Amino acid sequence: MDSLSPVIGQRLTLPARASSYHHYDHRPLLSGTICRRKFGIRVQATEPKVVASSSSSSAATAAAANRSIDFSDPEWKSKYQKDFEARFNIPHLTDVFPDAVSYPSTFCLKMRTPVNEDFAGGYPSDEEWHGYINNNDRVLLKVIRYSSPTSAGAECIDPGCSWVEQWVHRAGPREKIYFKPEDVKAAIVTCGGLCPGLNDVIRQIVITLEIYGVKKIVGIPFGYRGFSDQDLGEMPLSRKVVQNIHLSGGSLLGVSRGGPTVSEIVDSMEERGINMLFVLGGNGTHAGANAIHEECRRRRLKVAVVGVPKTIDNDIMLMDKTFGFDTAVEEAQRAINSAYIEAHSAYRGIGVVKLMGRSSGFIAMQASLASGQIDICLIPEVPFNVHGPHGILRHLKYVLDSKGSAVVCVAEGAGQNHLEKTNATDASGNIVLGDIGVLIQQEIKKYFKGIEAPADVKYIDPTYMIRACRANASDGILCTVLGQNAVHGAFAGYSGITVGICNTHYVYFPIPEVISQPRTVDPNSRMWHRCLTSTGQPDFL
């Protein structure tokens, strides 16, 4: 549930790099930087700049982002594609070390002899294996060709909604690796809040590292603070240690918010000899990971920093979904069903369920769709009135009068304009939200008491029960593949990247592109329209 802080609320822009593999511009990645703190880490972000992008969640946002494009230029489409390719080209060790030596991969599923120094020539491959990913393999980012900006959910680059191909790097094992397994000390850290699937990802990272031949694997306890707290020692990890951890929720390594500065983290990594770091977390955690990657580059350290996006809210840009989301939607069904039973069993009963979603209403929307028992779904992206002729209270009265009971599902970040604002922030720098669920519950009671109509209101908040549960089968598969591909990316020499699923394929993204802003529900999307069809709710404005 890490959320984007105002620190990185503007798009992080990178200078253009050459598009061909292993021919990178060696200029510093960040210029004109400003420094802030995120998770206790000094995070650098570029000054705000309007850039061309089609990653927005609505046509209006996309149009605003593309104002810098001269559409009268007949070459604008090819220029846009080149700019996109430059922005999404992923950092590689050869950016800093042009003469870095590569080795034949030790990851070959046809040659299962344990890797050790006794091999003549280092890393033989007894037989050819066609299981590697070519460095030039790409995955199409957008697959719908919208014909008009008025199409539901349209994301258009130009007013005519031209089709422009946008390709991103395919994830997977490469034939050449840039680390000798016996020289690797890999570390794993989990930051932010709990999320179903954390143990699944940890387990798979460890197993895949061992298949490559890595012997030194450690866990950093309790997030980034584990790098500086002298009372928190490293946790040695091996397949034996992690074999069954996916059978329970939580994180074997523990989680926390806050931590030391980037410089202190990198100092600790140097002292410990860590040259692979796997960071599991959301937007804020990834901002920290990118800052660590930049600091390692500045110090010319041969270190691979790879992120695995963890947010139960599903609010990471460009990805189909993040791990833990499917489990959250499934577990939310229990709370919704309980609220329905309570409401349906009472005389003029109303059940109110509050689900997670600080700035994105994906859990509330999908859970409402899945249950088929919700009469009103409230999300942060769609404003609403509580009172008045078109408010939710008037509609609740109509629902009660017509069917005898009602169920309301509300995301935690919805309707914050109806609550008193505070300047309080948590350890991650997130603004402390008001409790919209309690407000809705209280206003419902006041309203029906005021009109002297009976209403039996029950309120359920399953937040921490959902966060702490074990990943379901769908998330278990996602976590497994994300963990494997994170290791493949690190051994391939990539750093400052995160792994995700895009159009059902696994890809690598440069971290700045996925933390530029939170992914949100588009009120003009077909999925939100489907939710409205299911609930039958009107506009509450």
Backbone φ and ψ for 36, nearest 5 degrees, come out as: -140, 180
- In terms of Cα–Cα distance, which of 283, 284, 273, 231 is closest to 254? 231
The Cα 331–Cα 466 span in angstroms is: 6
Tokens of 458: 């029950």
Q: Does residue 365 have a known ligand-binding role?
A: no
H-only helix segments in 107-238: 198-212
The Cα 297–Cα 117 span in angstroms is: 29
H-only helix segments in 372-462: 392-403, 436-450
Q: Which amino acid is at 418?
A: H
Tokens of 430: 């997130």
Residue 320 gets which letter from DSSP? S
Buried b (16+ CB within 10 A) or exposed e, 266-285: bbbbeeeebbbbbbbbbbbb
CB 356 within 8 Å of CB 312: yes
- The total number of residues shown for the chain amounts to 541
Residues β-bridged to residue 376: 408
313 is an active site residue: yes
The Cα 375–Cα 507 span in angstroms is: 38
Q: Does residue 311 have a known ligand-binding role?
A: yes
Of the chain, the end-to-end C-alpha distance in Å amounts to: 29
Strands 176-177 and 185-190, how do they pair?
unpaired
Q: Does residue 193 have a known ligand-binding role?
A: yes
CB 380 within 8 Å of CB 357: yes
CB 73 within 8 Å of CB 86: no
Q: Does residue 470 have a known ligand-binding role?
A: no
Q: Does residue 274 have a known ligand-binding role?
A: no
Q: Does residue 357 have a known ligand-binding role?
A: yes
| Max CA separation in the chain (angstroms) | 87
Tokens of 136: 């030039």
Q: Does residue 134 have a known ligand-binding role?
A: no
How many C-beta atoms lie closer than 10 Å to residue 126's C-beta? 9
CB 247 within 8 Å of CB 470: yes
- In terms of Cα–Cα distance, which of 527, 498, 98, 57 is closest to 280? 498
Strands 176-177 and 41-46, how do they pair?
unpaired
CB 301 within 8 Å of CB 270: yes
Q: Does residue 466 have a known ligand-binding role?
A: yes
Tokens of 86: 């430059």
Q: Does residue 501 have a known ligand-binding role?
A: no
Q: Does residue 210 have a known ligand-binding role?
A: no
How many C-beta atoms lie closer than 10 Å to residue 449's C-beta? 11
The Cα 198–Cα 250 span in angstroms is: 7
Q: Does residue 412 have a known ligand-binding role?
A: yes
> Active-site residue among 158, 200, 313, 375?
313
Q: Does residue 526 have a known ligand-binding role?
A: no
How many C-beta atoms lie closer than 10 Å to residue 393's C-beta? 20
Which residues are part of the catalytic machinery?
313
Residues marked as binding for substrate?
311-313, 356-358, 412, 464-467
Residues marked as binding for Mg(2+)?
283
Residues marked as binding?
193, 257-258, 282-285, 311-313, 356-358, 412, 464-467
Residues marked as binding for ATP?
193, 257-258, 282-285
